[in-house]
Structure 1
Amino acid sequence: MPAPRSFTTLAVTVLAAAPLVTAPAATAAPTAAPTAAPTAPGYTITARPAEVGPAIADTMHGIFFEDINDAADGGLYAELVRNRSFEFTGTDRAGWNGLTGWTTTTQGRGSGTATTVDGSARLDERNRTYLELALTSPAGSAFGVRNAGYGDGIAVQKGKRYDFSVWARTDARNGTPLTLVLDDAAGKRYTSPQHLVVRGDGWVKYTGTFTATATTNAARLSVLGSGSGTLRLDMVSLFPRETFKNRPNGLRKDLAEKIAALNPGFLRFPGGCIVNTGSHEAYDAAAGYPRARSYQWKDTVGPVETRATNANFWGYNQSYGLGYFEYFQFAEDIGAEPVPVVPAMLTGCGQNQATDDPELLQRHVQDALDLIEFANGPVTSTWGRVRAQMGHPAPFGVRRIGVGNEENLPAEYAANFVTFRDAIEARYPDITVIANSGPDDSGAVFDAHWAAARANGAEVVDEHYYNSPAWFLQNNGRYDSYDRSGPQVFLGEYASLDSKLSNALAEAAFMTGLERNADVVTMSSYAPLLAHVDNAQWKPDMIWFDNDQSWGSTSYEVQKLFMNNVGDRVVPSTATGAVLQPQPIGGGIGLSTWATAASYDDVRVSAPDGTALFADDFSDGNATGWTPLAGTGTWSAAGGAYTQSDTAALNTLVKGPDVGTSDYDLTLKATKTAGAEGFLVAFGVEDSGNYYWWNLGGWNNTRSVVEKATNGAKETLVARENQSITTGRTYDLRISVRGTKVTLFLDGQEWGSFDDDAVTEPFAQVVTRDDATGDLIVKVVNAQSTPAVTRVDLGDVRVKGKATMTVISGDPEAQNTRSAQPVEPVTSTVSGIRPTFTRTFPANSVTVLRIPTT
């Protein structure tokens, strides 16, 4: 049982007018001397260093990698050739095929045809498709294919070396001359051509090295065969010689170095939604590997030419060149603990399906056991030998393993979790098996997962949530009330939904609460980690990149600042200062749809005593009181209803009149006429980015929720799973608003309620101690547009009078982009540090003071 601890408290004071985060402010640079207080301190921080606070685990802050946003192929994995093994299919993405990423090219009067084939001449049973070139070129000419890599071209730097390889075979009796070169669309060459001769009709790997003669980000790799006959190619590869740690089949150096600079305590991989979503079918010798199957680690080890590819959950192809061995190797290289996650045999991420095949479940349990053997087993074991053959005879030292990701079926998940956990503990009693709590931060599914985790004796529970900046500023004390004797928390995925400085500040404020609750929160990781700027399915993301450059987001800068200034033990502390009280829900009403056609009728807003405030039955054939906010959809008032008929439009929000009060009832009738989902009824509508809505039949008509949008970022307030809307049926809806409390009724029955009464804390802090240096580390977040004059009392300690101060601050709307990175840390030395001192923390800032003690 953890030792008793002290929580930070924040006194509640109403600010009459203090805009939170949204008002721009000039960048505030740290000063080299104590800031003179223009007014009396409005905040206080009181530390109690004589008290023993919770120890902070080395894994407090880590990283989570998922192959989303082209994070692996074309991202962290340094391979420069796209679709190198000609395995793309329409299952990966509509319109794709084996030649996606490739075009034919000629030299001189070269001619021929290029066809991808899944035939008996394949390189490997798991690498089934290859390119067949039928060559008909006269002497001195050639025909072949070229590849522009990921994005607009392949990036090379003058003087750098690039290693190519290709597997090839030919039926030409005297062999087939093969030429490889890097050039651009205008024909300018960036390397000297490399020549080789393919001999024999059996697969042979040919290799060589280019040295770039100039720098470009728009090169293309051309592979051309001369003469006549049939030339077959597979695994056409190009790697920079200079990968991270110069490892073959390695990682892109600039991205890996940015990740390493975070100094993460752990690496969770490979997902995320890709872990357990899709088919769970096994390999079939006749049909090959089914596409869109669940992530199976055994597909990803061994020689790269024998690894299967898969259809990624996020809508593209995974080559698995970056596989489990490479993940383990990367974790070791950056000093992070590896934390693999295996399928729980249920679909997750908003889908609801569980396997009913006991044999299949047991196969995946055995796969999990084999995975631990691969990571930790001796070289004499079956899978330890595979690891050794790949170049790492020493164990990787796995201590934790996660089972599943964001399952919506708590009972089915709990049963499978226990099956995995019991089998793992029986063979590997020192391994911690991590459970999870579903896709939301609260609600019935969340509560059921946690109840099962406690009942089943889970040691750690993985929580995930993505919310608005306001949510993070309102939930700094989320873990203050968690059971200290229950399972610990692994916050495996979290982020504020955008990439502005205001988002990073809200996350920083929340992170102070994570650290203060280090006896409950043992691990945490922001997500997603990586995003290709031209292929992002999700925002926010920590590190952005294109084919030749990368940059950290505002959240990256905050994460790096925290990860490199964690400390070893919490110093109990308290804080006082101003907070923002909740405001009643005013604004207007609204209607919307999402990939659905629907009609609305008899819209009425009335006061609690029944007095009508607004009514529209659309009988006059117009909707003059409604204003489009989203700019999409096809709305018309006809036939006595207001109808949106475009089933492709994703958000068609229209706003009615302002209600003029925070106590009212909204009633209406809603009918889905076609499409994928249900309907959305909005209230508290201020503008296109600030509103509440009741989303009935969302997530492909599988669940219903109430969401709150703040500056465009949504958070879930109420969720009901397994609810769908029937096409053609008319539903009676009522939304009762009383100040901050809302009750919702569906067909006369109470559906749910919530009270949006959370207090917002724009000022947050945590104090920790670094055992190695003796430093006190004071982290302070001021997420508002006014400076925070603060009295800091460090208690009975001796300090050296100076401190190292690092500040991240600026316009809360600022973002780091490809062209500019305005949000960066500034470090300076400050004097005048005493056991008690006053400091003004800039508006919209996070500050870390490292204070040496004697």
Structure 2
Amino acid sequence: MSDKKVIKVLAKERGEKLGDLFGIFFEDLNHAADGGLYAELVQNRSFEFDPIDRKDYHALTAWEKVERGDAKAEIFVEDTYPLNEKNTNYLTLTVIEPGDGAGIMNLGFNTGIPVRQGERYLFSCYARCDTNSTKPVSITLESTDGRVYSTNEVVINSSEWIKYETILTANETDYSSRLVLTTTEQSKIYFDMISLFPERTFKNRPNGMREDIAKLLADLKPKFMRFPGGCLVHDGSLNPDDRDSMYRWKNTIGDVEKRPARRSNWGYNQTLGLGYFEYFLFCEDIGAKPIPVLPAGYDPHHQRIVPIEELQPWIDDALDLIEFANGDTSTVWGTKRAELGHPEPFGLVYLGIGNEEVGEPFFERYEYFHKAIKEKHPEIKLINSSGPFAEGSEYDRGWKSARENKSDFVDEHYYQSPEWFLANYHRYDVFKKDDPKVFLGEYASWGNTYYNALVEAAFMTGLEKNAHAVGLACYAPMLCNIDYVNWKPDLIWFNNNSVYGTPNYYVQKLFMHHQGDYTLMVETNGLQTIEAASSKPIAGKVMFAGDYSTANYYDIKLRNMDTGEEKSYDHFVLEHGSEFELDNIQWENYQLSLKAKKIDGVRGFKLFFGQSDDKNRLLWEIGGWQNQDAVLCSEVNGRNSCLTQSLFAVETDREYHLELEVTGRHIRTLIDGELINETDDKLPVIEPLYYSASVESLTGDIIVKVVNVQDTPVKVQIELEQIGEEDLSGTIYEMSGYELEEENSFETPGKIVPKQHDITVKANTIDYEFPKQSITIIRFNKKSSI
């Protein structure tokens, strides 16, 4: 029997349509919008920052008073005569002694306001003065030590709010400059909406996107973009006029000065300058289908719930959004879109309702949205939710709702260790074709190393091969400002002047550029699994942790389920911030039984088991995040995976009977006799190669993707069948030769990138050695369409 390894691609055996499989997800965290993709350079331009956004914020955050020479001035923020009712704050500058100039300075984001020599910057502000006399105001771009890069002047000449504009051209490059407004006259001047935009934005859009970040996104060629989040969609008050309201799309369109400031649940202010109209424009500019996500009147973070009888305005918001995107100019919202400068429809196809929803209130309300939208717009594909975990009772509740309502997609989210992704490579093999399709709306392995990218590439071949079940997928999060990190890993990192893609970015780019339109059948020979699934038992230390609560543990028993041996332990009290090691268990099958009572604290109980060290262990947490759930997690090399989750809240001073059962790698947990969690902690089964194949209809190109995660090369013969006898040309795109822990950086942004070279294919066959730990895409070119 031959040891030859063969991948045979059957070019006529088309499988599932790949459709809009790979796209991107924009969520405004990590200052992805303000200070990021949104090109505005002034921070807190309308003086609306507030402690409700972040405790250390105030109306003058990012602003400083300027007093030069003998100048004396006062600045403060008031709201008695506002520019508009949506943004009531404005700054009052009282110049007592003009000296060499008195005024205000904006510090920008990051190190300051970035300017480049020869480039033009568009300044604007609204201003008024006490009288109709003229008040000249100097507008300058300066270094931190006062060197002037550009200067111009506006003359305030009215007691009414008027918009003033000018252009500043930088004569030097400085990424830490300041915007300074000063006057040399004794006066009282009022300012609002002070703005500075680079003239050159992406596609030269006014109120547009930062060019370098936007170009990196456009270069991906994504099929879709999901926006604007994320948890910020549903986290907030039910009142759309509240500063901390849920994300309401109607607040984000129209004149930017009339858009209300919003608290982001990520701990900063959202100006909403980047709003729904801009999102739709950006999707159009990069050729991506828009996937907006709307709240359903339920905040699971704080249990704020719209009564069913008051749900209609929320449903109307969804219907109005569809009309805003797709309606002609005879409709109310189609007219509004045209007034904003886009009479043509945006072509909305997909709409998400809810984000990472858990709890019956959401799914009760989803049904109303689904029915109303499908009755009026059956063409819209609706996306339901299955929570933020890959498994568990809330995940199951989401899928039940999707099946019952006949949702088009179910939004799945998970962030896991690389080992979890390898262990769950076949996750979607068993999903049914006639079920709603999966929208893998958020996923990533923990890290931006080459190893993370390698493993994600392997997993993505599984997404392609299971196109019968998976319709859409996007890595998350997408953007991160290096100085404002809420979450990592992230696809793209930036500061105020430069940006780079991670290895993960280049994997996504490869898969988007070479997706294909239909899967192709692949037959293999000699590629049997090389490492059998390990049955290594979950053995090791049993530890209790008191991270957020003080609790009493007693009646503790540990039983060997094979031999019947039983151990008993003394009761103990575990206080905040302390740990307690119960035992080191090397049994294969065992049961831990105990009683526990929370004395105080914001969470419940935390138990580690199977611990070899503090970076490799399993966790059972009861009353976890916000005291809302019970989870089983696996930690491998310090990277966590939530295996399964159920809702559960721990009451203070109530006794709970807790049971943990471990059978091989199967785990069950019970509370007061009720099954709460059940799962398997799967170990990776390493495939000799991870592969998929597709065909591109327009060109007829055959695309073969192969990922080798092993530390040795694998030599394979690739055979293309059913395409005739003509010779083919081809191009290989490959990532290989990198250490697993290597990353890209601002200093070396192109350290890990794909390389390409051309090949000639004789008799429809090539022999190729896939390097160790490599990602390879081979595009076979054929003149005639297949």
TM-score (norm 1): 0.86
1:755 equivalent in structure 2: 680
Distance 1:777 1:531 in 2: 32
1:22 equivalent in structure 2: none
Say whether the 8 Å CA contact 2:478–2:491 is kept in structure 1. yes
Report SS of the residue matched to 1:480: helix
1:314 aligns with 2:266: yes
Report SS of the residue matched to 1:239: strand
Report SS of the residue matched to 1:53: strand
- CA drift of 1:234 comes to 0.4
1:484 aligns with 2:412: no
2:546 equivalent in structure 1: 593
- CA drift of 1:497 comes to 2.1
Distance 1:351 1:511 in 2: 35
- Give the 3 Å change call, closer, same or farther, for CA 801–203 of structure 1 in structure 2: same
Distance 1:537 1:483 in 2: 37
- CA drift of 1:329 comes to 0.5
Paired residue total? 774
Distance 1:419 1:791 in 2: 54
- CA drift of 1:826 comes to 1.2
1:114-148 CA deviation, whole Å, 9 max, x = no partner?
Answer: 111122x101111111111122124x533221111
1:135 aligns with 2:88: no
Distance 2:588 2:180 in 1: 67
Distance 1:555 1:240 in 2: 29
1:355 aligns with 2:306: yes
2:745 equivalent in structure 1: 817
- CA drift of 1:752 comes to 3.4
- CA drift of 1:747 comes to 4.8
Distance 2:653 2:364 in 1: 38
1:417 equivalent in structure 2: 366
- CA drift of 1:671 comes to 4.2
Report SS of the residue matched to 1:493: strand
Distance 1:478 1:660 in 2: 30
- CA drift of 1:761 comes to 3.4
Say whether the 8 Å CA contact 2:627–2:650 is kept in structure 1. yes
1:513-558 CA deviation, whole Å, 9 max, x = no partner?
Answer: 2111223322111111111112121112111101111111111010
Distance 1:833 1:552 in 2: 36
- Give the 3 Å change call, closer, same or farther, for CA 369–744 of structure 1 in structure 2: closer
Say whether the 8 Å CA contact 1:796–1:835 is kept in structure 2. no
Partner residue of 1:726 out of 631, 651, 655? 651
When structure 1 is superposed on structure 2, of 121-130 and 398-407 the one drifting more is: 398-407
Say whether the 8 Å CA contact 1:48–1:794 is kept in structure 2. yes
Q: Which amino acid aligns with 1:454?
A: R
2:708 equivalent in structure 1: 782
- CA drift of 1:56 comes to 1.6
Distance 1:769 1:685 in 2: 47
2:14 equivalent in structure 1: 52
Distance 1:730 1:42 in 2: 63
1:403 aligns with 2:392: no
Distance 2:686 2:21 in 1: 23
Distance 1:383 1:175 in 2: 42
Distance 1:516 1:214 in 2: 53
> Whose strand proportion is higher, 1 or 2?
2
TM-score (norm 2): 0.94
- Give the 3 Å change call, closer, same or farther, for CA 811–587 of structure 1 in structure 2: farther
Distance 1:298 1:560 in 2: 33
Distance 1:599 1:414 in 2: 36
Question: Moved runs in structure 1, 4+ residues, more than 6 A?
Answer: none
Distance 1:599 1:102 in 2: 51
- CA drift of 1:611 comes to 3.8
- CA drift of 1:353 comes to 4.2
1:85 equivalent in structure 2: 46
1:171 aligns with 2:100: no
Q: Calculate the aligned-residue CA RMSD, in Å.
A: 2.3
1:203 equivalent in structure 2: 161
1:296 aligns with 2:248: yes
1:712 equivalent in structure 2: 638
- Give the 3 Å change call, closer, same or farther, for CA 749–493 of structure 1 in structure 2: closer
2:142 equivalent in structure 1: 183
- Give the 3 Å change call, closer, same or farther, for CA 595–103 of structure 1 in structure 2: farther
1:553-591 CA deviation, whole Å, 9 max, x = no partner?
Answer: 111010001000001111111443324413322232222
1:222 aligns with 2:185: no
1:107 aligns with 2:65: no
Alignment of 1:304-343 (within 5 A): 304-343=256-295
When structure 1 is superposed on structure 2, of 221-230 and 532-541 the one drifting more is: 221-230
- CA drift of 1:732 comes to 4.6
Say whether the 8 Å CA contact 2:589–2:664 is kept in structure 1. yes
1:631-683 CA deviation, whole Å, 9 max, x = no partner?
Answer: xxxxxxxxx7363334xxxxx66666643343344455544333211121101
- CA drift of 1:51 comes to 1.7
Say whether the 8 Å CA contact 1:407–1:439 is kept in structure 2. yes
Distance 1:60 1:829 in 2: 27
Report SS of the residue matched to 1:453: helix
1:546 aligns with 2:495: yes
Q: Which amino acid aligns with 1:159?
A: G
Say whether the 8 Å CA contact 1:41–1:791 is kept in structure 2. no
1:826 aligns with 2:775: no
Partner residue of 1:61 out of 22, 25, 33? 22
Partner residue of 1:803 out of 727, 730, 737? 730
1:203-254 CA deviation, whole Å, 9 max, x = no partner?
Answer: 0111111111111111011112332332110001001111101111110001
Q: Which runs of 5+ in 1 are unaligned?
A: 1-39, 283-288, 618-639, 647-651
- CA drift of 1:601 comes to 5.8
Say whether the 8 Å CA contact 2:442–2:474 is kept in structure 1. yes
Say whether the 8 Å CA contact 2:123–2:196 is kept in structure 1. yes
Say whether the 8 Å CA contact 2:667–2:678 is kept in structure 1. yes
Partner residue of 2:297 out of 345, 361, 382? 345
Say whether the 8 Å CA contact 1:799–1:851 is kept in structure 2. no
1:58-113 CA deviation, whole Å, 9 max, x = no partner?
Answer: x1111111111100000000000000000111110112111111111122222121
Say whether the 8 Å CA contact 1:607–1:665 is kept in structure 2. yes
- CA drift of 1:487 comes to 1.7
Alignment of 1:293-692 (within 5 A): 293-348=245-300, 352-356=303-307, 358-359=309-310, 361-409=311-359, 411-575=360-524, 576-577=527-528, 578-582=530-534, 583-598=536-551, 600=553, 607-608=560-561, 609-611=563-565, 617=570, 641=572, 643-646=574-577, 658-668=584-594, 670-692=596-618
- CA drift of 1:374 comes to 1.6
1:13 equivalent in structure 2: none
- CA drift of 1:764 comes to 1.0
2:696 equivalent in structure 1: 770
Say whether the 8 Å CA contact 2:545–2:574 is kept in structure 1. no
When structure 1 is superposed on structure 2, of 814-823 and 163-172 the one drifting more is: 814-823
1:633 equivalent in structure 2: none
- CA drift of 1:703 comes to 0.8
- CA drift of 1:351 comes to 5.4
- CA drift of 1:383 comes to 2.0
- Give the 3 Å change call, closer, same or farther, for CA 731–423 of structure 1 in structure 2: closer
Say whether the 8 Å CA contact 2:10–2:522 is kept in structure 1. yes
Report SS of the residue matched to 1:321: coil
Q: Which amino acid aligns with 1:309?
A: A
Distance 1:254 1:123 in 2: 33
Partner residue of 2:212 out of 241, 244, 254? 254
1:746 equivalent in structure 2: 671
